[in-house]
Amino acid sequence: MSAFDEDLGDTVTLAHGNGGRLMRLLITKLFAPHLGNPTLDTEADSACISLPPGELMVTTDGFTVQPLQFPGGDIGALAIDGVVNDLAVAGATPVYVTLAAFIEEGLEMAVLASIVQSLGAAAKAAGVRVVAGDTKVLPRGQGGGLYLALTGLGVRTPGCKLGMSQIKPGDKILVSGTIGDHGIAVMLARQAYGLRGDVVSDAAPVLPLTQALLAMPGLRFMRDPTRGGLATVAHEIAQATGHGVSLEEAAIPVSPASASVCEILGFDLLYLASEGRVVAVLAPEDAPAALVAWQALEAGRNAAIIGTVEANTRGVRLLTPIGGARFLPELEADALPRIC
């Protein structure tokens, strides 16, 4: 057993959250080495930061995924990607993140260390700094091992006009890659259905995808299709604009492995979460150029134009390859809770 393990113990205890010696060791020996940067002061209760010029954007998100580690990622990397992606799809460049960790008594210290290391690596990859944080330890049985809450700060160019209010009839809907892979990967990791597969989570920062479109005058709106998936984003567009949305089933990119799992279990990929994808709405004249820009990126190689915003209709329609159509209902019961 290493000195690191001897100092902290094998599992998290309530004493690791009491403000005393063990809590100090938890922060300085586990969190700080992986999250450390010139702006992180573990002895201060607040951080002094400097932001580049532009509009300040802020977002807050919480993460409760089960299991904590899954093919293609874990709750640490997922949390960073989730919060920076919310800034990116709003047209901002993420800069800083704050972190609150709610750790359940009994969590293996090695698991926590692995997750914090992953979180730090994801922050570095996304170009953001963790500048402040807090830790709390929950009594055994009162948490799912680890909950994370993050706040992200970013900067957007003044005058950037993105939002559902900008969407017009005739606009085209694009998605940057295969849908629902994160939901399937988490479900398979739970092994709740006795299935195994090679699907990995699509969790990743989407900033390269969003920045590739920001200069296009016809860019109206972007969103990452997390909880509720692509179908829920389409419903949000329809409700906010008062127009209908039609999606072309044959154009929607899907992983054959994820599609097979859904066929076996009766799930619908349209409602399953993606954590590294972007749904974008553009004026029809800019959609082809946006598609080319995305497909030139590794993250967007499977991008496609998948639908249209339509006047004089309501709701969301799925156009089938044989020429039929069916209306997609709004999501009610969540088939896969606690996936992000």
Model confidence at 1, pLDDT cuts 50, 70, 90, reads very low
**pLDDT tens digit string along 283-298?**
999 999 999 999 999 9
Instruction: Sort 206 into a burial class: Cβ within 10 Å, 0-12 / 13-18 / 19+.
Output: buried
pLDDT band, residue 194 (cuts 50/70/90): low
Using alpha carbons, select from 229, 226, 216, 94 the residue that is nearest to residue 166.
Answer: 216
Confidence of residue 3 (pLDDT cuts 50, 70, 90): very low
Top-level class of domain 164-327: alpha beta
pTM comes to 0.93
> DSSP secondary-structure letter at 139?
P
Lookup: tokens for 58: 């802020």
Chain centroid, CA 123 distance in Å: 13
The topology (CATH level 3) of 3-156 is 60s Ribosomal Protein L30; Chain: A; (3.30.1330)
Q: Any idea of the CA torsion for 257, 259, 263, 268, to the nearest 10 degrees? A: 140
The predicted structure's pLDDT at residue 2: 43
Is residue 178 within 8 A of residue 230, CB to CB? The reply is: no
196-254 per-position pLDDT tens digit = 667 899 999 999 999 999 999 999 999 999 999 999 999 999 999 999 999 999 999 99
CA-to-CA distance for 87 and 122, rounded, in angstroms? Answer: 15
pLDDT for position 286: 98
- pLDDT reading at 306 higher than 50: yes
Q: Which residues pair with 149 in a beta bridge?
A: 62, 100
pLDDT tens by residue, 106-145: 999 999 999 999 999 999 999 999 999 999 999 999 889 9
Sequence spans of domains, the chain? 3-156, 164-327
Distance between CA 334 and CA 316 in Å, rounded? 19
Query: Same topology for domains 3-156 and 164-327, yes or no?
Result: no
